[in-house]
Amino acid sequence: MNIVVSNVKGGVGKTTTAMYLAAAGAERGWEPVTLVDADRQASSAEWFEARPVAGVDLVEAPSERTVARNMVGDGLVVVDTPPGDERIVRGALDRADAVVIPTRAGGVEFTRVDATLEMLGSATPRGLVITAARLGTNDLDETVQWWSQAKVPIWGIIPERVGIASGPESRLYREGLSLYADVLRKALRRRAR
Ligand SMILES: Nc1ncnc2c1ncn2[C@@H]1O[C@H](COP(=O)(O)OP(=O)(O)O)[C@@H](O)[C@H]1O
Ligand SMILES: [Mg+2]
């Protein structure tokens, strides 16, 4: 089962989402769980080095070839993709059973998500995760409305939390783990068979 976390834009929560999804998968009993870091910036790998996650193996795969090679195994594979590097991103998306697209709330983000959606085959299950969300704001409400009109499912809304923003400096945040477990459940339910 390959879940690819992708958005052509940087800083939207891809690495955070990939870490939490992998950890949530391990907690739910998936074995093995492999977190594939396809970003040359190696942000997942650095995070993992600072704070390994029980039940998750990390593989650095910063090329189309190495990503492809790591998306054939058993168990759960979560791929953290780079913001640029279209060949790597396409290589990962082509092998995805489900694609999770992290995005921030706000109008300027829509076109970035569209660019990501355009890279997907029509049959590939996909859903959005709105990261660092400020609950009760117009920005968030408008974003939710926009995507429901566009018929792109929202698999999760992750509130802005200091415990999540602190990344490798602290343990994975319990509330984040349970919210991302729900995202994982939705991705698995809609996966290609
Ligand atoms: N739910 C959240 N609450 C607060 N900060 C968040 C949340 N999700 C992500 N962030 C922060 O947003 C920044 C960008 O996230 P990151 O996962 O590195 O994005 P990307 O991999 O897309 O560049 C990081 O500082 C991260 O800690
Ligand atoms: Mg990243």
CATH code where residue 112 lies: 3.40.50.300
Query: pTM score, two decimals?
Result: 0.97
Q: Average of pLDDT values for 81-107? A: 95
Average pLDDT for the chain: 95
CA of 89 to the centre of ligand 2 (A): 13
| Ligand 1 within 6 A of CB of 100 | no
Q: Is the pLDDT assigned to residue 155 strictly greater than 70?
A: yes
The domain of 17 spans: 2-189
Read off the tokens for 172. Answer: 């994975």
Q: What percent of the chain has pLDDT over 90?
A: 89
Contact 163, 7 (CB under 8 A): no
Residue in 44, 131, 140 to alter for ligand 1 test, most ligand atoms within 8 A of Cβ: 131
| Ligand 1 within 6 A of CB of 168 | no
Q: Which of 176, 154, 155, 157 is nearest to 167 (CA)?
A: 176
Q: Is the pLDDT assigned to residue 190 strictly greater than 80?
A: no
CA of 8 to the centre of ligand 2 (A): 11
Residue 192 pLDDT grade (very low, low, confident, very high; cuts 50, 70, 90): low
Domain count, the chain: 1
Q: What percent of the chain has pLDDT over 70?
A: 98
Q: What is the pLDDT of residue 191?
A: 63
Residue 108 pLDDT grade (very low, low, confident, very high; cuts 50, 70, 90): confident
CA of 14 to the centre of ligand 1 (A): 7
CA of 111 to the centre of ligand 2 (A): 19
Q: Is the pLDDT assigned to residue 162 strictly greater than 60?
A: yes
Cα distance between residue 124 and residue 191, in whole Å: 8
Residue 140 pLDDT grade (very low, low, confident, very high; cuts 50, 70, 90): very high
Cα distance between residue 31 and residue 39, in whole Å: 23
Contact 182, 156 (CB under 8 A): yes
Residue that is written with structure tokens 């489900």 in the block: 98
Residue in 4, 6, 16 to alter for ligand 1 test, most ligand atoms within 8 A of Cβ: 16
Q: Average of pLDDT values for 106-115? A: 89
Residue 172 pLDDT grade (very low, low, confident, very high; cuts 50, 70, 90): very high
Cα distance between residue 172 and residue 175, in whole Å: 9
